[in-house]
Amino acid sequence: MPFSFVTDSVETRSQARAGRIATAHGEVLTPAFMPVGTAGSVKSLTPDELREAGADILLANTYHLWLRPGSETVRGLDGLHRFMGWSGAILTDSGGFQIMSLAPLCKVRDEGVEFRSHLDGSALKLTPEKAIRIQDDLGTDIAMSLDQLIDMPAPPARVREAVDRTVAWAARGLEERDRLRAEGRGTMALFGINQGGTVAEERRRCFEMLGAMPFDGFALGGLWVGEDRSVGLERVEEDCARFPADKPRYLMGVGHPVDVIEAVARGVDMMDCVLPTRNARRGTVFVSSGRLVVKNAAYANDPRPLDPDCDCYTCRKFSRAYLRHLFAAGELLGMRLASIHAVHHMITLTRRARAAIIERRFAEFRAAFLERFASGETLAPPAPAAG
């Protein structure tokens, strides 16, 4: 099995750590931000652009690819890497999150999740075993266990039930991978997902069981779903303190630059989020000094790049004035150029954090980053509130 994880350096004044994950599709440097390629493409971008932006790993959504074009179709075309032309590593989610948030008429039972396709209404069922088979069909490097998500806040009994089911499903997923391996397949790594939502005691209880299972890494699920940032970060700190030091830790669904740095400070190695690229397609990008709304009229004649501190393709070649024009005119190129910056910005942020950890100056890096991000320097003043 080609999967391994080593930590190069751990901060002494925080839990931040720098590491490397080896996969059959190259090395992944951590902390890592994973751009999201929902349906087999990171929206509007080519694999080469992702490489140029520094990406060494992408996340793809099992639910979307299972429904369309179908995991067996992808397998027949030699797997997702070949299908989408991406030679780096791929992590797939289990499909559970999308089913529980997108699919209508979703019913969760011990056996699995019954739901209807959001595309054609057909009745489908995802079990923990099926989730593993589909991810193997896709040819992923890192698969995720099926877990049960619940909306928070929720009654204690409901949280408890979801934790127990998540643990049972985790064990069944591992067994299914064993069966696949007996068939000469299932080479992918498999991560377990810790649940319990924002309830500290349930997360502790969940990991008492999950942590005993032979997963290749552990994820933090059920966070960043509406709770205060401080609550989420407390749960991250507690989970990371319990997770084993020799396995990667993946915080699911986190992508705001401030959250990323704060999570890294608490010991998280991997993150993913559609936020930076979704915002970018709508004309808002993160830059060193905060959040820039590209369409703002103040940029109509601004010859500066989106972020004067950035060396991405977009910032090397194009002005705010041009980007603003593209968004005003509804030109697709605007979404692309903003997306290129967005991916590059997030990956550069984690790379800089990594360098700071290795050079024992992460605390200074974190303080400087937060100060600059809050500065608003080089941004247009916020538009006056509508009267």
Binding site for its own copies (CB under 8 A): 39-41, 43-47, 64, 68-69, 73, 76-77, 83-85, 300-301, 303, 313, 317-319, 321-322, 324-326, 328-329, 331-333, 335-337
Question: Within a 10 A sphere around the Cβ of 36, how many other Cβ atoms?
Answer: 21
Nearer to its own copies, 180 or 338 (CB): 338
Radius of gyration of the chain (CA): 21
Catalytic residue among 56, 93, 137, 239: 93
Residue 5 · residue 246 · CB < 8 Å? yes
272 has catalytic annotation: yes
Q: Which of 132, 151, 47 lies closest to 93 in space, CA to CA?
A: 132
Nearer to its own copies (CB atom), residue 83 or residue 224? 83
* Least distance to its own copies, CB of residue 341, Å: 13
Residues 6 or more apart in contact with residue 59 via CB below 8 angstroms: 34, 35, 36, 37, 90, 91, 92, 93, 272
In the bound complex, what is the minimum distance in angstroms from residue 71's beta carbon to its own copies? Answer: 12
Q: Which of 56, 216, 259, 272 is catalytic?
A: 272
Which lies closer to its own copies via its Cβ, residue 85 or residue 308? 85
CB of 232 to its own copies, least distance (A): 31
Question: β-strand 57-60 against 36-37: which pairing, if any?
Answer: parallel
Q: Residues 345, 307: contact at Cβ < 8 Å?
A: yes
Question: Could you tell me the CA-to-CA distances from 320 to 152, 283, 316 in Å, in that order?
Answer: 40, 11, 11
Minimal distance in Å, beta carbon 41 to its own copies?
Answer: 4
To the nearest whole angstrom, how small is the minimum distance from the Cβ of residue 59 to its own copies? Answer: 16
Q: How far apart are CA 92 and CA 33, in angstroms?
A: 14
Nearer to its own copies, 301 or 375 (CB): 301
Q: Is 215 exposed, middle or buried (0-12, 13-18, 19+ CB in 10 A)?
A: buried
DSSP per residue, 159-192? HHHHHHHHHHHHHHHHHHHHHHHHTT---SEEEE
Q: Based on CB atoms, which residue is closest to its own copies, 23 or 44?
A: 44
Nearer to its own copies, 7 or 41 (CB): 41
Query: 127: which 2 tokens?
Result: 């079990």
Q: Are strands 17-23 and 4-10 parallel, antiparallel or unpaired?
A: antiparallel
Distance CA 171, CA 129 (A): 10
Rounded to a whole number of angstroms, the minimum distance from the CB of residue 371 to its own copies is 32
C-alpha distances out from residue 9 to 23, 126, 193, 355, 366, Å: 20, 39, 25, 10, 16
- Name the one residue in this structure whose structure tokens are 């990008």: 285
Identity of the residue numbered 76: G
Catalytic residue positions? 93, 272
